[in-house]
Chain A
Amino acid sequence: MASKYRFYILVAILAFTGISLTIYKNKVLHFPLFTDKTIPVWTVESHISFQPTDKDVEVSLAIPGNQNNLAIAKETQISGKEYEFTIVENVPHREHRRAIWKASGVEGKQDILYRASVYDVSQSELEFYKADVPDVSVEFNEEQLVAVNEIVKSINVDPKKDEVAFIDALLDVISEPKLQSKVTLLLGSKPTKTKRLELAQLILATLDIKSVLAKGFELDKSKKKQKLTAVLCVGDGDKWRFFTLGSDSHKLPPRFLFWQRGGNSLLDVTGGKDVKISISVLKENKLAGAFAVDTASDKKSMLVNFSIYSLPISQQSTFKKLLMVPLGALIVVLLRNLVGISTSGTFMPILIAMAFLETNVLPGIVIFLLIVSSGLAVRSYLTRLNLLLIPRISAVLIVVVFIMAFLSVLSNKLGLRQGLTITFFPMIVLSWTIERLCVLWEEQGAKEVFVRGGGSLLVAVVAYSVMSNGTARHMMFAFPELMLTVLAIVLLLGRYSGYRLSELIRFKAFDEGGSDNV
């Protein structure tokens, strides 16, 4: 009894492991579940160059972090080996991340690259900026404060009543091409867009409206030079409105990547001059499964390190076929033990199905029938020679190879390309099949040969249709742990002691006089 429980626990563990690993890889590591679709991946790169002026230099660059619908992966940097590189996550406002390079005694023009991959994720996974908005310290002098008050008053909207309209109006005032004198007082005569938004942020702060200044761009096509757009994000942890100069939409394009959120500057270089920064974007389509492995291997996930994707591509395709064998075995078990189809040789149908994968079904069936029937003809002659088993099978094997070569050449002459795929048929297994069918013929008659041979072919075709199914292939390849689940099912079927479908016909005679027989 105890061993019985142990068995079911084992089965449950196997099934559960297979399924839960699959779900984990799908949900967390983003292995695509059903098809290996391609997904767009953007490689963003910022190139910083400067001329050192000091012995010690420090470069601090705002860098993007995960956000609502975009995730960052595979962050790399390239810099001289003197540099010490760190990434600072600005806790608690984690959205503000900075990459920091420090070095001393560097000479000549310095180039530093920061690179990261960005890809779509579904909304729910990464929460944008739930944290409190940091306070901005307002440092206006008397004169400036007066100007601020005047600006606020000049706007005919009460910020307490209609914040959005107020901010829109404020931005209009600040972004006018010909600035009012009170604005110039605060901004100077030729302010950048960023400066203007910074002013708006400060003015809002005096009115107790919290905001964050961010910079970013919409991910779209590849771009050599990507400009950053400054955005004023107003709101709290739950709801955000985005204000940009020259737009009233308060929304951002769906794939707007925030490069910098909060913080004072995009880039600070201490101890350097002639600082230049350029950002470029490269868009590529990648296979989702392979990309998932790429991104996840950053996380040193065991599941990924040991996944089939980590094999060389050439071997991956071999494995793609190999991994279908368990499914084929499952089909064989189902059809034999549940349906009750009898086959010749337990797993011969799987091998035939694998040959079908190369030849396609119809040509495959034709080739199979040709080989087996001509093999049977030859084998029945061998019967009369009273040969021992091994020489007999070897003789059949030679004949099978001969038939295969003959069919191959013949079909080539006829211009049928399919003939060449004949080599995918497992000749040893075919020889054994022929041997078995022949013995069957002698012992049990031709009918049984057709039943078994036909059964084998039927099982092979069903196994083929499963093994050639794109979804099934992808799933077994991306989630080889599903084999554990298949194993669990097979183990369970190993204990199945109910009737086979065929037995409902075999034992039909018992139905006569049955109590519930109408």
Chain B
Amino acid sequence: MFDFIKPSRLRELGIVGMNERNVRYIMENNPRKFFPVVDDKLKTKIAAQKHKIAVPQLYSVVREQSQVRKLKDILAPYSEFVIKPANGSQGKGILVIVGKDGDRYVKPNGEKLSLLDLQRHVSNTLSGLYSLGGENDNAMVEALVHFTDAFKNFTYQGVPDIRLIVYKGYPIMAMMRLATSESDGKANLHQGAVGVGINLGDGRAVGAVMHNVTCLAHPDTGAKLSELVVPHWDEQVLLASRCYEVTSLGYLGADIVIDKELGPLILELNARPGLSIQIANQEGLAHRRAKIDAHMAQNPNETPEQRVAFSKKAFARG
């Protein structure tokens, strides 16, 4: 009934499994004390800003229930913004407001919310409705990202983001996740989103998979995936690479979105990036890691620019 791939074959291909990721990638490279910086989006943002890393601008933070009453004043200067829980995940509790209609706030789908709705949302956020362990949380108000149109044809609802994995500061692999109708507009590969491997050298698609099977066109839009090119590629790779200095995490996932005017922005960092990037790229991480380790032994303490130059050269494809 099941068809297995031989472990020896996987090893030959350098595919990293869950156990190896946990032991050899996360435990060896990501000391626990550095986790809070990435697990808390507010801390991530503050640290990133300190290092002059481009992120959606932080407008304000609501930390206490007493501030909820002043929400109107807090939001007054902005006509569009995003409210999100600092400790949220999976998009929970993220409220996007794209405009104002008099006193009311407009969501992307046209639905209008009153100030009271927003206050309740923030209040819920503070008391931990959306945070992982149900602990008290902070609500961040940040600038709305105007997503680039470059990927318009490549996604069904949802916003495509670029995931770069950075190993000890060296970009090691990249992919893009495209929501499909099957994945219900979510960018989750095992729910049926399309994973597109991205050539680190030039930001072009190297292949795509859906449900672990190679696919050539987006199932909903029909766009040819081989034509997908990520704009501002060099800038993005550098941005991701510099996040190493921000977090000190040796195995780091950086989620990047592209704003029409501001260009690439770091949306989120992740200390436990998953392994499906290997499937999207049809390549394992282990050999690339070995190359980086070997390179680092010769060239310690490289600058982000040098690291990016190495990665782009070493891992370019086609």
A390 to B133, CA, bound (A): 10
Contact count A vs B, C-beta below 8 Å: 91
CA distance A388 to B134 in the complex (A): 8
B211, chain A: closest CB distance, angstroms? 9
A445 contacts partner chain B, Cβ-Cβ < 8 Å: yes
What's the least CB distance linking A434 to chain B, in Å? 15
Contact B134 A510 (CB under 8 A): no
Is the CB–CB distance between A444 and B191 below 8 Å?
yes
* Residues of chain A within 8 A of B18, CB atoms compared: 340, 500, 503
Instruction: Type the 1/0 row for A479-502, where 1 means its CB is closer than 8 Å to any CB of B.
Output: 000000000000000111111100
CB < 8 Å: which of A386, A444, A495, A503 contacts B17? A503
Given contacts A507-B10, A507-B15, contact A445 B191 (CB under 8 A): yes
Q: Could you say which residues of chain A place their CB within 8 Å of the CB of B90?
A: 443
Is the Cβ of B128 less than 8 Å from the Cβ of A507?
no
- Contact: B4 with A509, CB < 8 Å? no
Question: In the bound complex, how far is the Cα of B184 from the Cα of A508, in angstroms?
Answer: 25
User: Do A510 and B15 touch across chains, with their CB atoms under 8 A apart?
Assistant: yes
Within 8 A of A (CB), among B170-223: 184, 188, 191, 209, 212-214
- Across the two chains, which residue of chain A brings its CB closest to B135? A389
List A contacts of B7 (CB < 8 A): 498-499, 504
Contacting residue for A499 out of B2, B12, B17, B134, CB 8 A: B17
Decide if B3 is an interface residue (CB 8 Å cutoff). Answer: yes
Count contacts on B: residues with CB < 8 A to the other chain.
Answer: 37
CB atoms of B19 and A337 under 8 A apart: yes
Q: CA separation between A499 and B15, bound complex, in Å?
A: 9
Q: Say how far A422's CB is from chain B's closest CB, in angstroms.
A: 28
- Residue-wise, chain B 13-53 has the 8 Å CB interface mask toward A (1 for contact) of 10101111011100000000000000000000000000000
Q: What's the minimum C-beta distance from A406 to chain B, rounded to whole angstroms?
A: 28
- Across the interface, which residues of B come within 8 angstroms of A390, CB to CB? 134
Whether B23 lies near A505 (C-beta < 8 A) is no
B5 contacts A389, C-beta separation under 8 Å: no
**Which of B2, B6, B23, B213 is close to A509, meaning CB atoms less than 8 Å apart?**
B213
Are B10 and A389 neighbours in the complex by a CB distance under 8 Å? Answer: no
B133 to chain A, nearest CB (A): 8
Q: How far is the CA of A337 from the CA of B20 in the complex (A)?
A: 10
Partner of B9, one of A444, A498, A500, A511: A511
- Beyond known contacts A497-B22, A505-B5: 6 more, CB 8 A cutoff: A388-B134, A497-B19, A498-B19, A505-B2, A508-B5, A517-B9
- A sample of 29 inter-chain contacts (CB < 8 A) reads A386-B124, A386-B129, A390-B134, A496-B19, A497-B19, A497-B20, A497-B23, A497-B24, A498-B17, A498-B20, A499-B10, A500-B18, A500-B19, A503-B18, A504-B6, A504-B10, A505-B4, A505-B5, A507-B5, A507-B278, A508-B4, A508-B212, A509-B212, A509-B213, A510-B9, A510-B13, A511-B3, A514-B9, A514-B13
